[in-house]
Structure 1
Amino acid sequence: MGFIAMSRHICFLVYADFVLLDLSGPLEAFSHANRARPSAYHFTIASMEGGSVRTSAGVEVATAALHTIEHLDTLIIVGAPAVPAGGWVKLMATAVRHLSTRARRTASVCTGAFVLAESGLLDGRVATTHWNYAPQLQARYPSLRVDGDRIWTEDGHVWTSAGMSAGIDMALAMIEQDVSSDAARFVARMLVVYYRRPGGQRQFSSLLDFDPSSDRMSAVLSYIRTHLREELSVQRLAEVAHMSARQFSRVFAATIGVTPSKAIERLRVEAARPLIEAGNQSFEEIARGQGFGNADHMLRSFQRVIGRTPQELRRAIRQAREEGRAAGAGHMT
């Protein structure tokens, strides 16, 4: 085919009603990387049987049969608007497990993680998917550890990402690993996306936007949001829910998906983050204002929730702004 030896073969595995952006986003990222390093990647879009595959948007995409794929570097299973279901999932999972033995890494975007989990490749690993499906993934596959907050994860040779644009974030991280940070930064600028949202960054307002079926838990979440600066004990929240402390802890975790203490911590981190990125207040001021008590406690919470310290976030924002100003000046010359 004329590809140089260093060219890495990326295979995207699709199926009926897959989300086009889960394919096109990462594909465009890898394609743009070829402008930074010619022939860094080449691509195949595959399905189990090959032929035309319909997307959730109704667009038809031509594919190769999966059994024809050879010399594979990276296999990426794309996602769909709903959890993959049906007998074909087990068949695809078996094929994925077999093909992964010939790939340097295997990955998924959004609900593609369900196929990856069915293959057994996620057993004992940390994985993510779209926040809306994370509880279902964890319940169906208890042998893996689902972190529904993360944008993407890398655990050994297996990668997973959340939905939609998170596939681009994962691709950027792969490009940085395969080619260079300069190449990944170039791709981010060309796609007009941030370089780079770390894997540990939370998915967009997943807890804030969660709408529990329980009115009591909705009331508790509202109470937490409006009292972040205060001491929020389980007993206090149980009183808001009109439950015993023991019953409240059990119902809250079952309904929200995390313990009350983790929910409070995440909400505080989410409230503090824009203040940190704005850079107008000291870390101590922000920590006291959002209920952390002090900057050290806030630092540890940020490390647990998003995998980055407040200092790293502030530096990253400053760097992004400087790069944006530099890029703008470059366009004007």
Structure 2
Amino acid sequence: MATVNGKVVTHDVVIVVYDGVQLLDVAGPLDVFDRAAAEGGAGYRVRLASLGGRPVVTSAEAQLGVSADLARIRKPPDTLMVAGGRGYAAAAADRELVRHVRRLAGGSRRTGSVCTGAFVLAAAGLLDGRRATTHWAFCSELAVCHPAVSVEPDAFFVRDGTVVTSAGVTAGIDLSLALLEDDFGPELARAVAKFLVVFMQRPGGQSQFSTWMRREPLRGALSELVDNIDSDPSGDRSVPALAALMGMSRRHFSRLFTQQVGTSPGAYVERARVAAARALLESSADGVDAIAGRCGFGTVETMRRAFVRETGVSPAAYRDRFRRG
């Protein structure tokens, strides 16, 4: 057991679960803290808590045993974590669950969430005025539903004061390693990461794992144009060329496009080109220079810069991680 100045140190961790929770959102942090105890004697007492102390059924339909009734925990834990999963919306709408999360967070040293567990923290008002993240596929929803939250869609985890939120699923491991490092130092966290065969700190951001998020279907004059950009981003997609195709002035076209699509023409074209390049890097044997030309970037350096802006990693690094076969 870990000691400080001869005294035993035990960190009390409560992970809030509910029906529809993602199993790995729970198992990832559990394994980090369990291995820390086995590897270096780190003192963690980890409990799973649900309303009523009832077992929960995960999104994979596995029953998960629970050791504590959320409503009956009187002493706030050192660390309060809320797991995510398909049942996040119902959990965030459960006033009793949210009330107890808010109550315990008020006395905890730190509060965190894994994946869509961020929606429960947001419902409790714990993310208002803070930076936060969640799974890339739900970042837009979090930003729309909770405009007081500053959502950072590319981060694996975000610290803001005593609140820490993480991206989807396996990012709960990244978060737990960071908490372990805070508690017992980098050497133990590094040893646990090696044993679990994971990065101590993953390169890039979660954007490299996201898919091209298609816009809602457009209506009107821009619909066909945007479909053409998506299907063939390699042509002349400059503002003058696009405005000419629409028979509009450059200024009017740019204003209309931004208003209806939600981003500028240049930003949209760049993202469409990066999406095309990602698909080719995953499936094609072509060189990076050839892919840059096929996707309309012109030069490898132009593609590299756009790729890093969009995904946080270089085209070569992306291919190394995601190429099929």
State the Cα RMSD in Å.
Answer: 4.3
Residue 35 of structure 2 is aligned to residue 32 of structure 1: yes
- Aligned counterpart, 2:201: 196
In terms of Rg, which structure is larger? 2
Residue 137 of structure 2 is aligned to residue 128 of structure 1: no
- Aligned counterpart, 2:25: 22
- Aligned counterpart, 1:163: 168
**Residues 107-148 of structure 1: CA deviation (Å, up to 9, x unaligned):** 111111111001111001111112222222111111111222
CA–CA distance in structure 2, aligned partners of residues 211 and 226 of structure 1: 16
Q: Does the CA contact (< 8 Å) of 2:254 and 2:265 recur in 1?
A: no
CA–CA distance in structure 2, aligned partners of residues 150 and 27 of structure 1: 22
Distance 1:190 1:79, change over 3 A: same
Distance 1:133 1:187, change over 3 A: same
Q: CA deviation at 1:106?
A: 0.6
- Aligned counterpart, 2:323: none
* Aligned with residue 65 of structure 1, among 69, 76, 94: 69
- Aligned counterpart, 1:223: 229
- Aligned counterpart, 1:317: none
3-state SS in 2 of match to 1:49: helix
Q: Does the CA contact (< 8 Å) of 1:124 and 1:143 recur in 2?
A: yes
CA–CA distance in structure 1, aligned partners of residues 186 and 133 of structure 2: 24
- Aligned counterpart, 2:322: none
Q: CA deviation at 1:178?
A: 2.1
Q: Specify every segment of 5 or more residues in structure 2 that has no aligned partner in the other structure, as ranges.
A: 282-286, 318-325
* Aligned with residue 42 of structure 1, among 36, 42, 45: 45
* Aligned with residue 178 of structure 2, among 166, 173, 180: 173
Q: Does the CA contact (< 8 Å) of 1:8 and 1:40 recur in 2?
A: yes
Q: Specify every segment of 5 or more residues in structure 1 that has no aligned partner in the other structure, as ranges.
A: 315-333
CA–CA distance in structure 2, aligned partners of residues 20 and 50 of structure 1: 17
Q: Does the CA contact (< 8 Å) of 1:268 and 1:292 recur in 2?
A: no
3-state SS in 1 of match to 2:165: strand
CA–CA distance in structure 1, aligned partners of residues 55 and 206 of structure 2: 36
Q: CA deviation at 1:99?
A: 0.6
Q: CA deviation at 1:194?
A: 2.2
User: What is the identity, as a one-letter code, of the residue corresponding to 1:223?
Assistant: I
Q: Does the CA contact (< 8 Å) of 2:12 and 2:77 recur in 1?
A: yes
Distance 1:233 1:76, change over 3 A: farther
3-state SS in 2 of match to 1:133: helix
Q: CA deviation at 1:7?
A: 2.1
User: What is the identity, as a one-letter code, of the residue corresponding to 1:28?
Assistant: D
CA–CA distance in structure 2, aligned partners of residues 118 and 173 of structure 1: 25
3-state SS in 2 of match to 1:75: strand
Q: CA deviation at 1:153?
A: 1.1
What percentage of residue pairs aligned between the two structures are identical?
A: 35
3-state SS in 2 of match to 1:139: helix
Distance 1:41 1:87, change over 3 A: closer
Give the length in aligned residue pairs. 303
Q: CA deviation at 1:73?
A: 1.3
Q: Does the CA contact (< 8 Å) of 1:131 and 1:203 recur in 2?
A: no
Q: Does the CA contact (< 8 Å) of 1:126 and 1:145 recur in 2?
A: yes
Q: Does the CA contact (< 8 Å) of 1:13 and 1:47 recur in 2?
A: yes
CA–CA distance in structure 2, aligned partners of residues 128 and 203 of structure 1: 15
Q: CA deviation at 1:26?
A: 1.5
- Aligned counterpart, 1:252: 261
TM-score (norm 1): 0.71
3-state SS in 1 of match to 2:9: coil
* Aligned with residue 118 of structure 2, among 92, 113, 122: 113
Distance 1:130 1:214, change over 3 A: farther
Q: Does the CA contact (< 8 Å) of 1:292 and 1:298 recur in 2?
A: no
3-state SS in 2 of match to 1:159: strand
3-state SS in 2 of match to 1:35: helix
Residue 80 of structure 2 is aligned to residue 75 of structure 1: yes
Q: CA deviation at 1:77?
A: 0.4
Of 258-267 and 164-173, deviating more is 258-267
User: What is the identity, as a one-letter code, of the residue corresponding to 1:55?
Assistant: T
- Aligned counterpart, 1:85: 90
Q: CA deviation at 1:78?
A: 0.6
User: What is the identity, as a one-letter code, of the residue corresponding to 1:246?
Assistant: R
User: What is the identity, as a one-letter code, of the residue corresponding to 1:117?
Assistant: A
Q: CA deviation at 1:298?
A: 7.3
CA–CA distance in structure 2, aligned partners of residues 130 and 239 of structure 1: 39
User: What is the identity, as a one-letter code, of the residue corresponding to 1:65?
Assistant: D
